[in-house]
Structure 1
Amino acid sequence: MPSPTSTASHATHESSALTYSNSDSLAAREQLFGMLQDYRATPEEKERSLGLFLRGSLLARILAIDGIYRQIVDIPGCILDIGTWRGQTAVLCENLRAIHEPLHFTRRIVCFDTFEGYAGFSDSDRASTTHTEGTYAVGGDYAQYLTELLTVHERCNAMGQNHGKHRVIAGDCRQTLPDFFAQHPNEFVALAFFDVNTYDPTRQALAQVWDRLVPGGIVAFWQLTRDAIVAEGRAYAEQFLHGRAHTLHRAATYPGLCYARKA
Protein backbone atom coordinates (compact mmCIF):
# COMPACT_ATOMS: atom_id res chain seq x y z
CA MET A 1 0.00 0.00 0.00
CA PRO A 2 1.23 3.56 -0.60
CA SER A 3 2.58 5.19 2.49
CA PRO A 4 0.90 8.29 3.89
CA THR A 5 1.72 11.83 3.01
CA SER A 6 -1.08 13.55 4.87
CA THR A 7 -0.99 15.91 7.82
CA ALA A 8 -1.94 14.96 11.36
CA SER A 9 -2.13 18.28 13.12
CA HIS A 10 -5.40 19.90 12.11
CA ALA A 11 -7.89 20.97 14.75
CA THR A 12 -11.01 19.53 13.16
CA HIS A 13 -9.54 16.03 13.42
CA GLU A 14 -7.55 16.27 16.62
CA SER A 15 -8.23 14.05 19.59
CA SER A 16 -8.02 15.43 23.10
CA ALA A 17 -4.54 13.90 23.34
CA LEU A 18 -3.34 16.21 20.55
CA THR A 19 -4.76 19.53 21.68
CA TYR A 20 -3.94 21.89 24.52
CA SER A 21 -7.48 23.33 24.59
CA ASN A 22 -9.79 22.74 27.53
CA SER A 23 -13.47 21.88 27.18
CA ASP A 24 -14.59 25.51 27.22
CA SER A 25 -12.14 26.42 24.46
CA LEU A 26 -13.34 23.49 22.37
CA ALA A 27 -16.95 24.54 22.90
CA ALA A 28 -16.10 28.10 21.82
CA ARG A 29 -14.42 26.70 18.73
CA GLU A 30 -17.58 24.81 17.81
CA GLN A 31 -19.62 27.96 18.36
CA LEU A 32 -17.29 29.88 16.05
CA PHE A 33 -17.73 27.23 13.35
CA GLY A 34 -21.48 27.58 13.68
CA MET A 35 -21.32 31.36 13.43
CA LEU A 36 -19.24 31.01 10.28
CA GLN A 37 -21.82 28.69 8.74
CA ASP A 38 -24.67 31.04 9.61
CA TYR A 39 -22.97 34.33 8.70
CA ARG A 40 -25.30 36.41 6.54
CA ALA A 41 -23.49 38.34 3.86
CA THR A 42 -22.92 38.39 0.12
CA PRO A 43 -20.17 36.10 -1.23
CA GLU A 44 -17.92 39.13 -1.70
CA GLU A 45 -18.51 40.29 1.87
CA LYS A 46 -17.92 36.78 3.23
CA GLU A 47 -14.58 36.58 1.45
CA ARG A 48 -13.49 39.93 2.85
CA SER A 49 -14.74 39.01 6.33
CA LEU A 50 -12.85 35.74 6.86
CA GLY A 51 -10.75 37.45 9.53
CA LEU A 52 -13.86 37.51 11.74
CA PHE A 53 -13.63 33.73 12.06
CA LEU A 54 -9.88 33.16 11.96
CA ARG A 55 -8.84 31.57 15.25
CA GLY A 56 -5.64 32.75 16.89
CA SER A 57 -3.96 29.35 16.48
CA LEU A 58 -4.50 29.39 12.72
CA LEU A 59 -3.31 32.99 12.50
CA ALA A 60 -0.19 31.90 14.41
CA ARG A 61 0.44 29.20 11.77
CA ILE A 62 0.03 31.72 8.96
CA LEU A 63 2.44 34.16 10.61
CA ALA A 64 4.94 31.33 11.16
CA ILE A 65 4.80 30.33 7.48
CA ASP A 66 5.25 33.97 6.50
CA GLY A 67 8.26 34.29 8.79
CA ILE A 68 9.92 31.30 7.15
CA TYR A 69 9.00 32.41 3.64
CA ARG A 70 10.64 35.81 4.15
CA GLN A 71 13.95 34.03 4.77
CA ILE A 72 14.04 32.52 1.26
CA VAL A 73 13.02 35.55 -0.79
CA ASP A 74 16.59 36.12 -2.01
CA ILE A 75 17.29 32.39 -2.49
CA PRO A 76 16.51 30.60 -5.78
CA GLY A 77 14.62 27.33 -5.90
CA CYS A 78 11.17 25.80 -5.66
CA ILE A 79 8.95 25.23 -2.64
CA LEU A 80 7.89 21.67 -1.82
CA ASP A 81 4.90 20.79 0.35
CA ILE A 82 5.40 17.12 1.20
CA GLY A 83 2.29 15.80 2.91
CA THR A 84 0.17 18.65 1.59
CA TRP A 85 -3.23 17.22 2.68
CA ARG A 86 -5.74 19.91 1.59
CA GLY A 87 -2.95 22.24 0.41
CA GLN A 88 -3.38 25.18 2.76
CA THR A 89 0.39 25.69 3.19
CA ALA A 90 0.89 25.61 -0.59
CA VAL A 91 -1.88 28.15 -1.18
CA LEU A 92 -0.47 30.43 1.50
CA CYS A 93 2.96 30.19 -0.16
CA GLU A 94 1.50 31.20 -3.53
CA ASN A 95 -0.08 34.25 -1.93
CA LEU A 96 3.12 35.05 -0.03
CA ARG A 97 5.04 34.76 -3.31
CA ALA A 98 2.68 37.33 -4.81
CA ILE A 99 3.17 39.64 -1.82
CA HIS A 100 6.92 39.34 -1.27
CA GLU A 101 8.21 38.61 -4.79
CA PRO A 102 5.48 39.17 -7.38
CA LEU A 103 7.88 39.04 -10.33
CA HIS A 104 9.50 35.76 -9.29
CA PHE A 105 7.76 33.53 -11.85
CA THR A 106 10.23 30.66 -11.45
CA ARG A 107 9.29 30.18 -7.77
CA ARG A 108 7.35 27.00 -8.40
CA ILE A 109 5.35 25.23 -5.69
CA VAL A 110 5.04 21.44 -5.85
CA CYS A 111 2.65 19.45 -3.63
CA PHE A 112 3.10 15.76 -2.81
CA ASP A 113 0.46 13.53 -1.23
CA THR A 114 -1.34 10.25 -1.78
CA PHE A 115 -4.64 11.99 -0.88
CA GLU A 116 -5.71 8.55 0.40
CA GLY A 117 -4.85 9.11 4.05
CA TYR A 118 -2.45 7.17 6.21
CA ALA A 119 -1.52 3.61 5.29
CA GLY A 120 1.22 1.07 6.03
CA PHE A 121 2.45 1.92 9.50
CA SER A 122 5.62 0.18 10.69
CA ASP A 123 7.14 -0.64 14.07
CA SER A 124 9.09 2.62 13.79
CA ASP A 125 5.88 4.64 14.16
CA ARG A 126 3.82 5.33 17.26
CA ALA A 127 0.11 4.73 16.92
CA SER A 128 -2.45 7.21 18.26
CA THR A 129 -6.18 7.79 17.95
CA THR A 130 -5.65 10.15 15.00
CA HIS A 131 -2.62 8.34 13.59
CA THR A 132 -4.50 5.41 12.02
CA GLU A 133 -5.12 3.81 8.65
CA GLY A 134 -7.07 6.09 6.31
CA THR A 135 -6.97 9.21 8.49
CA TYR A 136 -6.99 12.43 6.45
CA ALA A 137 -8.13 10.86 3.19
CA VAL A 138 -9.61 13.58 0.95
CA GLY A 139 -10.66 11.62 -2.14
CA GLY A 140 -9.03 10.56 -5.36
CA ASP A 141 -9.98 13.69 -7.32
CA TYR A 142 -8.56 16.14 -4.79
CA ALA A 143 -5.26 16.54 -6.63
CA GLN A 144 -7.12 18.04 -9.57
CA TYR A 145 -9.16 20.28 -7.28
CA LEU A 146 -6.02 21.58 -5.55
CA THR A 147 -4.36 22.19 -8.93
CA GLU A 148 -7.35 24.30 -9.97
CA LEU A 149 -7.39 26.12 -6.62
CA LEU A 150 -3.72 27.07 -6.89
CA THR A 151 -4.29 28.33 -10.43
CA VAL A 152 -7.26 30.45 -9.32
CA HIS A 153 -5.13 32.04 -6.61
CA GLU A 154 -2.40 32.76 -9.16
CA ARG A 155 -4.92 34.41 -11.46
CA CYS A 156 -6.22 36.56 -8.58
CA ASN A 157 -2.72 37.75 -7.68
CA ALA A 158 -0.52 40.42 -9.21
CA MET A 159 0.67 39.45 -12.71
CA GLY A 160 -2.11 36.88 -12.72
CA GLN A 161 -1.78 36.29 -16.44
CA ASN A 162 1.35 34.27 -15.62
CA HIS A 163 -0.27 31.24 -14.01
CA GLY A 164 0.08 27.48 -14.07
CA LYS A 165 3.49 27.52 -12.35
CA HIS A 166 2.61 24.99 -9.66
CA ARG A 167 2.11 21.21 -9.63
CA VAL A 168 0.22 18.72 -7.50
CA ILE A 169 1.63 15.19 -7.60
CA ALA A 170 -0.40 12.28 -6.22
CA GLY A 171 1.33 9.13 -4.98
CA ASP A 172 3.82 7.73 -2.52
CA CYS A 173 6.51 10.37 -2.00
CA ARG A 174 9.20 7.68 -1.88
CA GLN A 175 8.55 7.21 -5.60
CA THR A 176 7.10 10.53 -6.76
CA LEU A 177 9.84 12.71 -5.23
CA PRO A 178 12.82 10.99 -6.92
CA ASP A 179 10.78 10.82 -10.14
CA PHE A 180 10.21 14.58 -9.93
CA PHE A 181 13.90 15.31 -9.46
CA ALA A 182 14.84 12.95 -12.28
CA GLN A 183 12.40 14.72 -14.61
CA HIS A 184 13.61 18.19 -13.49
CA PRO A 185 17.40 17.96 -13.14
CA ASN A 186 17.68 21.76 -13.01
CA GLU A 187 15.16 22.15 -10.18
CA PHE A 188 16.60 23.10 -6.81
CA VAL A 189 14.81 23.49 -3.49
CA ALA A 190 14.67 26.68 -1.45
CA LEU A 191 12.04 25.54 1.05
CA ALA A 192 10.39 22.21 1.85
CA PHE A 193 7.58 21.63 4.34
CA PHE A 194 7.31 18.13 5.83
CA ASP A 195 4.07 16.74 7.25
CA VAL A 196 4.31 13.09 6.23
CA ASN A 197 4.23 11.64 9.75
CA THR A 198 5.46 8.12 9.05
CA TYR A 199 9.07 7.20 9.52
CA ASP A 200 10.27 5.52 6.34
CA PRO A 201 8.71 7.99 3.85
CA THR A 202 9.99 10.89 5.95
CA ARG A 203 13.49 9.41 6.11
CA GLN A 204 13.72 8.78 2.37
CA ALA A 205 12.12 12.07 1.32
CA LEU A 206 14.32 14.05 3.70
CA ALA A 207 17.48 12.62 2.16
CA GLN A 208 16.23 13.37 -1.34
CA VAL A 209 15.30 16.95 -0.50
CA TRP A 210 18.50 17.76 1.37
CA ASP A 211 20.60 16.79 -1.65
CA ARG A 212 18.70 19.40 -3.73
CA LEU A 213 18.44 22.07 -1.03
CA VAL A 214 20.44 25.19 -1.88
CA PRO A 215 22.79 26.79 0.71
CA GLY A 216 20.62 28.82 3.05
CA GLY A 217 17.60 26.74 2.07
CA ILE A 218 15.10 25.58 4.69
CA VAL A 219 13.43 22.30 5.61
CA ALA A 220 10.44 22.90 7.89
CA PHE A 221 8.88 20.26 10.15
CA TRP A 222 5.38 20.47 11.62
CA GLN A 223 5.84 17.57 14.04
CA LEU A 224 9.56 17.50 14.89
CA THR A 225 9.19 17.58 18.68
CA ARG A 226 5.71 16.11 19.11
CA ASP A 227 5.64 13.06 21.39
CA ALA A 228 2.61 11.50 19.73
CA ILE A 229 4.11 11.55 16.21
CA VAL A 230 7.74 10.48 16.20
CA ALA A 231 8.58 10.09 12.50
CA GLU A 232 10.12 13.51 11.85
CA GLY A 233 12.13 13.63 15.07
CA ARG A 234 13.51 10.16 14.54
CA ALA A 235 14.45 10.76 10.90
CA TYR A 236 16.04 14.12 11.77
CA ALA A 237 18.04 12.68 14.68
CA GLU A 238 19.36 9.81 12.59
CA GLN A 239 20.24 11.82 9.49
CA PHE A 240 20.88 15.42 10.49
CA LEU A 241 21.53 15.95 14.18
CA HIS A 242 25.18 15.08 13.60
CA GLY A 243 27.11 15.26 10.36
CA ARG A 244 25.13 17.69 8.16
CA ALA A 245 25.94 21.37 8.50
CA HIS A 246 22.80 23.29 9.45
CA THR A 247 21.17 25.37 12.17
CA LEU A 248 17.89 24.46 13.84
CA HIS A 249 15.20 26.98 14.80
CA ARG A 250 11.58 27.18 15.88
CA ALA A 251 8.93 29.57 14.64
CA ALA A 252 8.28 32.32 17.18
CA THR A 253 4.50 32.42 16.76
CA TYR A 254 3.97 28.68 16.34
CA PRO A 255 6.60 26.77 18.37
CA GLY A 256 5.51 23.40 16.97
CA LEU A 257 6.87 24.46 13.57
CA CYS A 258 10.65 23.88 13.57
CA TYR A 259 13.01 24.39 10.68
CA ALA A 260 16.56 23.50 9.67
CA ARG A 261 18.54 25.97 7.58
CA LYS A 262 21.30 24.48 5.45
CA ALA A 263 24.74 25.98 6.00
Structure 2
Amino acid sequence: MHDPRTQARFDLTSREALEEYFTNSPGSATEKLENFAKYVPRQNLARFLARYEIFKLIKDVQGSIVECGVLFGGGLMSFAKLSAILEPYNFQRRVIGFDTFTGFPDIDAADLKGKPERKSAHLKQHGFAADGAYEDLLRAVELFDISRFLNHFPKVEVVPGDFAQTAPKYLQDYPHLVVSCLYLDFDIYQPTRIALEQFLPRMPKGSVLVFDELNEEAFPGETIAVMEMLDLNKLRVRRFDFEPRISYAVIGD
Protein backbone atom coordinates (compact mmCIF):
# COMPACT_ATOMS: atom_id res chain seq x y z
CA MET A 1 0.00 0.00 0.00
CA HIS A 2 2.14 2.85 -1.25
CA ASP A 3 1.21 6.37 -0.12
CA PRO A 4 3.05 8.94 -2.27
CA ARG A 5 2.53 11.65 0.36
CA THR A 6 4.29 9.79 3.13
CA GLN A 7 6.54 7.24 1.39
CA ALA A 8 9.50 7.75 -0.91
CA ARG A 9 9.49 6.19 -4.36
CA PHE A 10 12.36 3.89 -3.42
CA ASP A 11 10.12 2.31 -0.75
CA LEU A 12 7.78 1.11 -3.50
CA THR A 13 10.68 0.05 -5.71
CA SER A 14 12.16 -1.98 -2.86
CA ARG A 15 8.84 -3.70 -2.16
CA GLU A 16 8.35 -4.56 -5.81
CA ALA A 17 11.85 -6.03 -5.96
CA LEU A 18 11.24 -8.06 -2.79
CA GLU A 19 7.99 -9.43 -4.17
CA GLU A 20 9.72 -10.53 -7.36
CA TYR A 21 12.57 -12.04 -5.34
CA PHE A 22 10.12 -13.95 -3.10
CA THR A 23 8.23 -15.30 -6.10
CA ASN A 24 11.33 -16.51 -7.94
CA SER A 25 13.43 -17.63 -4.97
CA PRO A 26 14.03 -21.40 -4.65
CA GLY A 27 12.17 -23.46 -2.09
CA SER A 28 8.55 -24.20 -1.22
CA ALA A 29 6.26 -21.56 0.29
CA THR A 30 6.76 -23.15 3.70
CA GLU A 31 10.54 -23.13 3.31
CA LYS A 32 10.38 -19.46 2.37
CA LEU A 33 8.31 -18.71 5.47
CA GLU A 34 10.84 -20.56 7.59
CA ASN A 35 13.48 -18.21 6.17
CA PHE A 36 11.26 -15.15 6.44
CA ALA A 37 14.08 -12.74 7.36
CA LYS A 38 15.32 -12.97 3.75
CA TYR A 39 12.09 -11.53 2.45
CA VAL A 40 10.50 -9.34 5.11
CA PRO A 41 11.16 -5.59 4.66
CA ARG A 42 13.40 -4.18 7.35
CA GLN A 43 10.67 -1.76 8.47
CA ASN A 44 8.19 -4.57 9.11
CA LEU A 45 10.74 -6.60 11.03
CA ALA A 46 11.37 -3.52 13.17
CA ARG A 47 7.65 -3.27 13.91
CA PHE A 48 7.60 -6.92 14.98
CA LEU A 49 10.52 -6.28 17.33
CA ALA A 50 8.69 -3.29 18.80
CA ARG A 51 5.67 -5.48 19.52
CA TYR A 52 7.98 -8.02 21.15
CA GLU A 53 9.37 -5.32 23.45
CA ILE A 54 5.84 -4.16 24.27
CA PHE A 55 4.77 -7.71 25.02
CA LYS A 56 7.67 -8.16 27.44
CA LEU A 57 6.43 -5.08 29.32
CA ILE A 58 2.96 -6.54 29.87
CA LYS A 59 3.91 -10.20 30.31
CA ASP A 60 3.43 -10.02 34.09
CA VAL A 61 0.39 -7.71 33.93
CA GLN A 62 -3.08 -9.23 34.13
CA GLY A 63 -5.40 -8.57 31.21
CA SER A 64 -5.96 -9.03 27.50
CA ILE A 65 -4.43 -7.28 24.51
CA VAL A 66 -6.79 -5.08 22.52
CA GLU A 67 -5.66 -3.93 19.07
CA CYS A 68 -7.70 -1.12 17.55
CA GLY A 69 -7.13 -1.29 13.81
CA VAL A 70 -6.17 -4.72 12.46
CA LEU A 71 -6.06 -4.42 8.64
CA PHE A 72 -4.55 -7.73 7.41
CA GLY A 73 -3.78 -9.00 10.91
CA GLY A 74 0.01 -9.16 11.03
CA GLY A 75 0.22 -7.20 14.27
CA LEU A 76 -2.64 -9.07 15.90
CA MET A 77 -1.12 -12.46 15.09
CA SER A 78 2.30 -11.26 16.26
CA PHE A 79 0.87 -10.63 19.71
CA ALA A 80 -1.00 -13.96 19.62
CA LYS A 81 2.11 -15.95 18.74
CA LEU A 82 4.24 -14.11 21.27
CA SER A 83 1.71 -15.04 23.94
CA ALA A 84 1.68 -18.67 22.80
CA ILE A 85 5.49 -18.79 22.89
CA LEU A 86 6.27 -16.81 26.05
CA GLU A 87 3.30 -17.70 28.26
CA PRO A 88 1.72 -20.93 26.94
CA TYR A 89 -0.21 -21.51 30.18
CA ASN A 90 -1.86 -18.08 30.24
CA PHE A 91 -5.30 -19.02 28.94
CA GLN A 92 -6.77 -15.77 30.33
CA ARG A 93 -4.78 -13.57 27.96
CA ARG A 94 -6.97 -12.94 24.93
CA VAL A 95 -5.82 -11.03 21.86
CA ILE A 96 -8.79 -9.02 20.58
CA GLY A 97 -8.79 -7.09 17.33
CA PHE A 98 -11.31 -4.50 16.16
CA ASP A 99 -11.62 -3.32 12.56
CA THR A 100 -14.33 -2.44 10.06
CA PHE A 101 -12.38 -4.27 7.31
CA THR A 102 -14.18 -1.88 4.94
CA GLY A 103 -11.89 1.06 5.69
CA PHE A 104 -12.59 4.28 7.54
CA PRO A 105 -16.34 4.65 8.15
CA ASP A 106 -16.06 8.44 8.18
CA ILE A 107 -13.53 11.24 8.47
CA ASP A 108 -13.89 13.84 11.23
CA ALA A 109 -12.94 17.51 10.88
CA ALA A 110 -10.16 16.82 13.40
CA ASP A 111 -8.56 14.41 10.92
CA LEU A 112 -8.25 17.16 8.32
CA LYS A 113 -6.55 19.77 10.46
CA GLY A 114 -3.12 20.96 9.35
CA LYS A 115 -1.58 21.17 5.89
CA PRO A 116 -3.65 19.27 3.29
CA GLU A 117 -0.59 18.37 1.23
CA ARG A 118 0.88 16.46 4.18
CA LYS A 119 -2.17 14.27 4.81
CA SER A 120 -2.15 10.60 3.88
CA ALA A 121 -3.82 9.65 0.61
CA HIS A 122 -5.69 6.99 2.62
CA LEU A 123 -7.42 9.67 4.73
CA LYS A 124 -10.85 9.33 3.12
CA GLN A 125 -14.00 7.30 3.58
CA HIS A 126 -13.20 3.60 3.05
CA GLY A 127 -9.48 4.37 3.17
CA PHE A 128 -7.47 1.25 4.08
CA ALA A 129 -10.32 -1.05 3.04
CA ALA A 130 -9.14 -4.66 3.12
CA ASP A 131 -11.43 -6.84 1.03
CA GLY A 132 -11.39 -10.44 2.17
CA ALA A 133 -9.08 -9.70 5.11
CA TYR A 134 -11.60 -10.66 7.79
CA GLU A 135 -12.25 -14.13 6.39
CA ASP A 136 -8.56 -14.61 5.70
CA LEU A 137 -7.70 -13.67 9.29
CA LEU A 138 -10.23 -16.14 10.67
CA ARG A 139 -8.43 -18.84 8.68
CA ALA A 140 -5.09 -17.67 10.09
CA VAL A 141 -6.49 -18.01 13.61
CA GLU A 142 -7.80 -21.49 12.79
CA LEU A 143 -4.36 -22.60 11.61
CA PHE A 144 -2.69 -20.95 14.62
CA ASP A 145 -4.93 -22.91 16.99
CA ILE A 146 -4.02 -26.30 15.53
CA SER A 147 -0.62 -26.53 17.25
CA ARG A 148 -1.18 -24.10 20.12
CA PHE A 149 -0.88 -25.37 23.69
CA LEU A 150 -4.22 -25.28 25.58
CA ASN A 151 -5.96 -24.70 22.29
CA HIS A 152 -9.34 -25.59 23.75
CA PHE A 153 -9.26 -22.08 25.26
CA PRO A 154 -9.80 -19.37 22.62
CA LYS A 155 -6.87 -16.99 22.23
CA VAL A 156 -7.65 -14.64 19.33
CA GLU A 157 -10.92 -12.85 18.68
CA VAL A 158 -11.59 -10.66 15.65
CA VAL A 159 -14.47 -8.19 15.93
CA PRO A 160 -15.62 -6.73 12.59
CA GLY A 161 -17.80 -3.65 12.11
CA ASP A 162 -18.11 -0.02 13.11
CA PHE A 163 -16.20 0.39 16.38
CA ALA A 164 -18.75 2.89 17.71
CA GLN A 165 -21.20 -0.04 17.85
CA THR A 166 -18.92 -3.06 18.33
CA ALA A 167 -16.93 -1.75 21.33
CA PRO A 168 -19.92 -1.11 23.66
CA LYS A 169 -21.51 -4.38 22.52
CA TYR A 170 -18.30 -6.30 23.24
CA LEU A 171 -18.06 -4.89 26.76
CA GLN A 172 -21.70 -5.73 27.33
CA ASP A 173 -20.99 -9.34 26.37
CA TYR A 174 -17.66 -9.47 28.25
CA PRO A 175 -18.06 -7.18 31.29
CA HIS A 176 -15.09 -8.87 33.01
CA LEU A 177 -12.55 -7.57 30.47
CA VAL A 178 -9.29 -6.20 31.88
CA VAL A 179 -6.84 -4.71 29.38
CA SER A 180 -3.07 -5.08 29.78
CA CYS A 181 -2.25 -3.51 26.40
CA LEU A 182 -4.32 -1.12 24.31
CA TYR A 183 -2.80 -0.71 20.85
CA LEU A 184 -4.23 2.36 19.11
CA ASP A 185 -3.92 2.00 15.34
CA PHE A 186 -7.22 3.39 14.06
CA ASP A 187 -5.34 6.38 12.59
CA ILE A 188 -8.36 8.67 12.87
CA TYR A 189 -10.01 10.76 15.56
CA GLN A 190 -13.44 9.35 16.39
CA PRO A 191 -12.68 5.64 17.00
CA THR A 192 -9.45 6.54 18.82
CA ARG A 193 -11.41 8.69 21.25
CA ILE A 194 -14.01 5.95 21.71
CA ALA A 195 -11.27 3.38 22.37
CA LEU A 196 -9.83 5.53 25.16
CA GLU A 197 -13.28 6.13 26.63
CA GLN A 198 -14.20 2.45 26.60
CA PHE A 199 -10.94 0.69 27.49
CA LEU A 200 -8.71 3.07 29.45
CA PRO A 201 -10.74 2.62 32.69
CA ARG A 202 -10.05 -1.12 32.39
CA MET A 203 -6.26 -0.76 32.31
CA PRO A 204 -4.48 -1.48 35.63
CA LYS A 205 -1.26 0.13 36.75
CA GLY A 206 1.63 -1.26 34.71
CA SER A 207 -0.45 -1.85 31.59
CA VAL A 208 0.74 -0.33 28.32
CA LEU A 209 -0.98 2.16 26.06
CA VAL A 210 0.49 2.04 22.56
CA PHE A 211 0.20 4.73 19.88
CA ASP A 212 0.86 4.00 16.22
CA GLU A 213 0.39 7.53 14.85
CA LEU A 214 1.06 9.87 17.77
CA ASN A 215 2.78 13.06 16.55
CA GLU A 216 2.09 11.90 12.97
CA GLU A 217 1.38 14.75 10.56
CA ALA A 218 -0.31 12.48 8.02
CA PHE A 219 -2.93 11.37 10.57
CA PRO A 220 -3.49 14.22 13.10
CA GLY A 221 -6.77 12.82 14.41
CA GLU A 222 -5.15 10.20 16.65
CA THR A 223 -3.02 12.79 18.44
CA ILE A 224 -5.94 15.20 18.82
CA ALA A 225 -8.08 12.46 20.39
CA VAL A 226 -5.26 11.49 22.76
CA MET A 227 -4.71 15.11 23.82
CA GLU A 228 -8.42 15.54 24.52
CA MET A 229 -8.63 12.36 26.60
CA LEU A 230 -5.25 12.37 28.37
CA ASP A 231 -2.96 14.89 30.02
CA LEU A 232 0.25 14.51 28.05
CA ASN A 233 2.15 16.50 30.68
CA LYS A 234 1.56 13.61 33.09
CA LEU A 235 2.26 10.83 30.61
CA ARG A 236 5.78 9.54 29.94
CA VAL A 237 5.59 8.68 26.23
CA ARG A 238 8.50 6.52 25.15
CA ARG A 239 9.64 5.42 21.73
CA PHE A 240 12.00 2.89 20.14
CA ASP A 241 15.24 3.96 18.51
CA PHE A 242 14.71 1.40 15.71
CA GLU A 243 11.03 2.10 14.86
CA PRO A 244 9.89 5.70 14.28
CA ARG A 245 6.10 5.48 14.50
CA ILE A 246 5.30 3.26 17.48
CA SER A 247 5.38 4.92 20.90
CA TYR A 248 3.95 3.87 24.23
CA ALA A 249 3.21 4.84 27.81
CA VAL A 250 3.09 2.62 30.89
CA ILE A 251 -0.01 3.39 32.95
CA GLY A 252 0.92 4.72 36.38
CA ASP A 253 4.55 5.33 35.41
Select the residue among 105, 123, 139 that pairs with 1:148.
139
- 1:180 aligned residue (141, 153, 170): 170
Separation (CA, whole Å) in 1 of partners of 2:12 and 2:134? 31
Aligned residue-pair number: 246
The unaligned stretches of length 5 or more in structure 1 are 1-12
- Unaligned ranges ≥5, structure 2: 113-118
Post-superposition Cα deviations, 1:80-135, rounded to whole Å, max 9, x if no partner, equal: 11111111111000111122111111110111111101232121112532212222
Find out whether 1:62 has 2:48 as its counterpart: yes
Aligned twin of 2:240: 251
Aligned position for 1:5:
none
Aligned partner letter, 1:249: R
Q: Is the 8 A contact 2:63 2:178 kept in 1?
A: yes
Whether the 8 Å contact between 2:66 and 2:179 is mirrored in structure 1 is yes
- Give the Cα–Cα distance (whole angstroms) in 1 for the partners of residues 139 and 226 of structure 2: 34
Counterpart residue identity of residue 169, structure 1: V
Which is worse superposed, 173-182 or 105-114?
Answer: 173-182
Structure 1 SS opposite 2:207 = strand
Query: What is the SS of the residue equivalent to 2:237?
Result: strand
1:129 counterpart = 2:118 = no
Provide, for residues 196-217 of structure 1, a one-character-per-residue CA deviation record: whole Å limited to 9, x for no partner. 1221221121121101112111
Question: Quick check: 2:71–2:133 contact (8 Å CA) kept in 1?
Answer: no
- Give the alignment's TM-score, normalised by structure 2: 0.90
* Aligned positions of 1:102-251 closer than 5 A: 102-126=88-112, 128-139=120-131, 142-157=133-148, 159=149, 161-162=151-152, 164-241=154-231, 246-251=235-240
Counterpart amino acid of 1:136? F
Which consecutive aligned stretches of 4+ in structure 1 deviate over 6 angstroms post-superposition?
Answer: none
Q: Given that residues 173 and 201 in structure 1 are in contact (C-alpha distance below 8 angstroms), is that contact kept between their aligned partners in structure 2? A: yes
Paired residue secondary structure (1:256): strand
Q: Secondary structure at the match of 1:219?
A: strand
Per the TM alignment, residue 75 of structure 1 is displaced from its structure 2 partner at its CA by: 0.5
Q: Which amino acid aligns with 1:138?
A: A
Report if the CA contact (8 A) 2:182-2:208 is conserved: yes
Aligned identity (percent) is: 26
Contact kept? 1:14, 1:130, Cα under 8 Å: no
What value does the CA root-mean-square deviation take over the aligned residues? 1.9
Would you say 1:262 and 2:251 are equivalent positions?
yes
CA distance in 2, matches of 1:123, 1:93: 33
C-alpha contact (below 8 Å) 2:181/2:210 kept by paired residues: yes
State the alpha-carbon separation in 1 of the partners of residues 58 and 94 from structure 2: 13
